[in-house]
């Protein structure tokens, strides 16, 4: 059995993790993610969390045979007061190279990240999963996650604007009258 080393990200990992995130981004776009793609998704992603590493975020890395085989980003954030004002952990992004799949790497990266979030004082842990990502949905269901929210997105070209009701009157100074 191949041994897997789990650890936190090191600066020397940044180039491979950046490349792996670009692979994750490309995969998510095959699952109908409908947001604009930046010129360099891996760098844009890294720029979004590197300054908070160890404080509000952490990247855990899996290594097999001396090579990075996967990663997971986790973060903590405070929800608004009207939702309790508590710290909530977020499992943000995970990628495991195809050769390392079916060794439990994704499950173990998730377990380690969840435990890091618990140690940060998170009240609970959340994750957003692309609806067509059946493998991730199954994994997080087996870890005890409960489906709570549904996020939907409409692009302007998809907007089916209903007609305004005949009895409508408008006082919208910062907006065109419908």
> pLDDT tens, 116-147?
999 999 999 999 999 888 999 999 999 999 99
What is the Cα–Cα distance from 76 to 118, expressed in whole angstroms?
Answer: 10
Give the structural domain span for 71. Answer: 4-149
Read off the pTM.
0.89
Inside any domain, residue 60:
yes
In a domain, 109, yes or no: yes
The predicted model gives 44-73 an average pLDDT of 95
Contacts of 162 (CB under 8 A, 6+ apart): none
- Residue 14 placed within a domain: yes
- Whether 178 is in a domain gets the answer no
| Dihedrals phi, psi of 35, to nearest 5 degrees | -110, 155
Residue 75 lies in a domain: yes
Q: 109 falls in which pLDDT band (50, 70, 90)? A: very high
Percent of the chain with pLDDT over 90: 83
Residue 41 has pLDDT above 80, yes or no: yes
**How much is the pLDDT for 145?**
96
Whether 48 maps to a domain, the answer reads yes
162 occurs within a structural domain: no
Task: Give the Cα separation of 150 and 152 in Å (integer).
Answer: 7
Among candidates 145, 73, 64, 154, which has minimal Cα distance to 109?
73
Q: What is the CATH number of the domain that holds 106?
A: 3.40.630.30
Q: Is residue 112 part of a domain?
A: yes
Q: Of 155 and 176, which is predicted with more confidence? A: 155
pLDDT at position 177: 63
- The number of folded domains in the chain is 1
Interatomic CA distance for residues 175 and 172, integer angstroms? 5
CA distances from 13 to 36, 47, 78, 123 (A): 26, 14, 29, 30
């Amino acid at each position: 059995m191949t041994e897997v080393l789990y650890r936190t990200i090191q600066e020397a990992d940044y180039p491979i993790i950046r490349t792996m995130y670009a692979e994750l981004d490309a995969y998510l776009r095959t699952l109908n993610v409908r947001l604009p793609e930046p010129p360099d998704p891996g760098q844009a992603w890294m720029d979004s969390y590197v300054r908070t590493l160890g404080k509000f975020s952490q990247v855990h890395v899996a290594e097999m045979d001396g090579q990075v085989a996967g990663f997971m980003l986790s973060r903590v954030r405070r929800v608004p007061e009207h939702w309790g004002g508590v710290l909530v952990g977020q499992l943000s992004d995970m990628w495991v190279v195809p050769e390392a799949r079916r060794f439990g790497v994704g499950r173990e990266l998730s377990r380690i990240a969840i435990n890091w979030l618990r140690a940060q004082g998170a009240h609970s842990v959340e994750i957003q999963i692309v609806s067509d990502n059946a493998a991730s949905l199954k994994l997080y269901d087996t870890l005890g996650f409960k489906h709570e929210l549904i996020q939907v997105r409409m692009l302007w070209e998809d907007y089916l604007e209903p007609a305004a009701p005949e009895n409508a009157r408008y006082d919208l100074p910062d907006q065109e009258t419908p």
